[in-house]
Every structure is written in C-alpha cells, then in structure tokens.
Amino acid sequence: MQAQTEERRKLVLDTLKLAEKYEHVCHVLNFDLETICPPAAMEEQGDLIAYFEAEGFRLTKAPAFQEAAEYLYAHRDELDEADRVMADQLHRTYLHTRNITPEKMKEFSEVRNRAYVRWIEAKQASDFERFAPSLEDIVRIQREEVALRDQEDPAAPVPSVYDRLLDDYERGMTTEQLDACFEACKRRLIPLLDKIRKSTVRIRTDFLSRPVTDDAQARMARRMLEVLHFDFSRGNFTTTEHPFTDWLGRNDTRLTTHYHPDAFLSSIYSIIHESGHAFFEMLQPEEDRDHYITGGKTMGMHESVSRFYENLIGRSEAFIHLLYPMVCEIFPEAMEGVSERELYEAVNLVQPSLIRTEADEFTYTFHIIIRYEIEKLLMSGEIRTEDVPALWKAKYREYLGIEPVDDREGCLQDVHWSFGMGYFPTYALGNMYNAMYYKRIKAEMDLDGAVAAGDFASVNAWMADNVFRRGNRLTPAEWIREITGRDFTPDDYLDYLEEKYTDLYKL
C-alpha cells in the first residue's frame, strides 16, 4: 500500500472510531427511550438522540475525512478486502448524504423521534389521527432525503422514491422483483389457504390463552436464551411495547420482548426471533468490527436469520420435543392435560389474524404484502395518510377475510412507520432466503437431531461459518448465491410451506 493511501486510511479509521462513540451513545439513549424512559421524558430524550446523531454525522462531513474516504474509493485496488468494503460503504454513504448538512440530519432525526412518541400515544389511545401528522412528516422527509441524494450511476434511469428506500434496506432489490415474488406467493398460497380452511383437521388451541404471569414468562425467556446459547456476558434482555434487538456495542447486544398474560407463546417466539438478530451481530467476524463495516448486512439478511430460528427451527417437531418439558415445568397450569403433539400442532395453527407479530407462519406473508402495497401508494402520493385506516381494513378483508375493529389492532400495530418506509418487505425476503439455506444446512448436518438434543452450539457455529461470515461484504444476491450456489428464488419457501401444511392438515 502506498504511503498516501495508508495515511488516508488511518485518518478514516480514526474518524470512524470517534464517530462510533457518538453512535454508541445514541444506541444507549434509544434503548432507554424504548424500554424504561418515562412517557413525559420521551420527547426530550429524542431531542438528545438527535443532537448526538448530528454531532457524529458532523465528523464524517469534515472535508479532510470526505477527501480521504473518496481517495480510498478511487484507489480500491491497493486495499485488502475489508478496507475495500469499507471504502465502498463510505462512498455509498457519501452519495446519499453529500447534500445533507448536520443541521438537516438533526431535523430528520427529531422528526423520527417525535413520530415514535406520537405512535406510542396513538397506539395506546387506538387513535390514528394522533399519529397521522407524524406519518405525513415521515413521508415528507423521506422524499426530501431521496431528492438530496446523488445516484451511484448517474447514467442509469432514476428509480422511484420507494425503490430507492427499498434499496436502503435490501441493496439491489426492486419493486419489480418484489411484485413478481408476491404474485407468486398469492398464486400458490391463496388456493392452499382455501384448502386448509376446508380441512377436517381440528387443532386444539384452548390452552394457549390460559393465564401465565409475567414472572413465569420472564423465567421462560431466560431459559430459551440459555438453551439457544445466548452469551449473557455480552448481552441481556428486557421488555418493551414492540420487541426489537439493538447492538449497542461490540460486547453489548440487547433483546426485548413483551409479555401477554393470555398468550404465553407470544413471548417465547418473540425471544427466539430476537435471538436470531442477536446472533448475527454477536457472531460476526472481529475484522468487520475493526473496519466499521458491520452495517453492511441488509435487513433481509437479518430477518432471514431471526425467522430461521423462530420458524424453521422454533416451529419444527424437533424443537417442540425440546420445548415441551420446559413449558410443562414453567407453565404447569397452562400445560395441564396438553400433549407434545398438541403443542406442535398449536404452534403451527393456520388461522388468519390481525396482528402481524402474532401471525402464523403460513399467513404471515400476507401481512407483509398489505404493508408493502400501502407503502408504495403513500410514497407515490396515490393515497393520503388519512386514507390509511380504511385501506388497511379493505386489504385485510381482501387477503385474509378479516377486519380490525380499531386502529390499535389495525394500522397502528407496528412501530416501523415512525422511522420510515421500505423495511417491511425484508421480513418476507428473509423467509425466502432462509428457506434456501435451510436446504443446505439439512444436507450438511443432522439439524433435527441437534435441535432435539439442544445442541445449538453446532447450529450457531454452522450459521456463523456459512451465513454470518460474509454478510457485511456482499450484496444480498451475491450472499445467497455464495451460501446456496443458486440465484434468489421464492420457490424454496413456497415449497416448504406447501409440504409442511399439506401434511399437517392432511390435504
């Protein structure tokens, strides 16, 4: 490496190290905001987050840093892979933010933090009108952010606003590709859902609503994390309104869940889902942390892992064999008279429902399609924010034959719109990615045997070597091809659902 390149490389790394400290502070404050911050202090806390975000961003706006980062990008052939990925990521960020000042960044952050507070208030009151002005602000600032960007390829056609937002969460994905994926889902899943509804198989569910205390659910959540080999020396968990995972620092990954007294399975599968996100962060290569490229993985990659643990493992017969004695021990009253087979069938019940996070594995994709279609219409201006509740109800009737009675169980149920559009499709893409690498892991190890025996050390090691290791360095298309040897397709996911639920419902 030439001396000039090394000098600039050192300046970039030193600046990123300092910027990471501001980011760390923001993560700590945000975790507090979403867990134990008193309601009256939330807006003030949000303003504090916005201040530190802007100050960290200011470091990367310094002319010396931007010159050094762009120099590295222009001299990528002198760099090793980790430095090259860092230069690529910084260049992409540069194009996205070159025309955004720290003051404008602070404004955007304040809008999002206020939107989160308004969402909490609106959801608790089940009143969309309280959130609608904030949603309008979110749509406005996202359009503004996109308008201020420089294109990576100035000669290419200008994508739609929504395509560019989608690309933020899932690099390279387009609405054209997603439309085709979701049409395939509708074509194959809607007729199968009709057959399931007509099946004579009756699955027992009465025990699922038996009351379970928060204390018992907290003990179960800890037991689950211990079984999954979560490292409590580098992470912990608590509760919040809408479960999430945050990676505050190199050795600080935190999960959250929510306890429902009449739905004990909810917290179990919430903690399994969030543990997948945690493992992706905790088990990534140290070299990636040292080069500040850990943000390279996409949300589709991330959701593939969380939903791999939650569904492909967590709803398997092998996992239920492992789980059954634990729930009988910790929830004895709820599980009285319930067999292992009845528990397996109950966690795989297909029943159209209103709440996405509680949706069964089969109908889940329809929840994502509904949000995706509404997001596209909002960002294109074809509908107004005040149209959302009615359109939400109409789409639930169309796809699932049910309709929310209020905004809380309707369009206010998810936190995501308080920080922007474009995220929701990654949940469905995650299901499609993990169905592809599920085939490979089953071919290379006795996955069911390992899961039934509680050998998650082996499962996590396979995931680290094959799924996590290159996630920060590849586009999703490159990543899934490297893992599976095949191009992305929704077919494996649809095949998996057809095979599993045809058997379960004896179709």
Q: What is the mean pLDDT of residues 312-341?
A: 98
Percent of the chain having pLDDT more than 90?
A: 97
The residues carrying an active-site annotation are 274
Total Cβ atoms within 10 A of residue 346: 17
Tell me the domain boundaries of the chain. Answer: 3-156, 203-354+423-504
Q: What is the mean pLDDT of residues 345-365?
A: 95
Task: Answer whether 348's CB lies under 8 Å from 504's CB.
Answer: yes
- pLDDT at 153 exceeding the cut of 90: no
Report the sign of the C-alpha dihedral through residues 240, 313, 208, 329, in that order: negative
Amino acid (one-letter) located at 367: H
Q: How far is CA 97 from CA 14, 58, 101, 148, 274, in A?
A: 20, 11, 8, 7, 30
Q: What is the mean pLDDT of residues 276-296?
A: 96
- pLDDT at 221 exceeding the cut of 90: yes
Q: What is the mean pLDDT of residues 191-210?
A: 96
- Whole-number pLDDT of residue 242: 85
Polymer length of the chain: 507
Q: What is the mean pLDDT of residues 334-339?
A: 98
Q: What is the mean pLDDT of residues 472-485?
A: 98
The rounded mean pLDDT for the chain is 96
227-263 per-position pLDDT tens digit? 999 999 999 999 998 899 999 999 999 999 999 999 9
- pLDDT at 1 exceeding the cut of 80: no
Task: Answer whether 374's CB lies under 8 Å from 393's CB.
Answer: no
79-130 per-position pLDDT tens digit? 999 999 999 999 999 999 999 999 999 999 999 999 999 999 999 999 999 9
- Whole-number pLDDT of residue 462: 98
Between CA 20 and CA 288 the distance in angstroms is 14
Between CA 493 and CA 304 the distance in angstroms is 11
Between CA 488 and CA 436 the distance in angstroms is 8
CATH level 2 (architecture), domain 203-354+423-504: Orthogonal Bundle (1.10)
Q: What is the mean pLDDT of residues 356-379?
A: 95
Q: Is beta strand 245-249 parallel, antiparallel or unpaired with respect to 252-257? A: antiparallel
Name beta bridge partners: 253. 235, 247
Between CA 30 and CA 67 the distance in angstroms is 31
- pLDDT at 163 exceeding the cut of 90: yes
Q: What is the mean pLDDT of residues 3-18?
A: 96
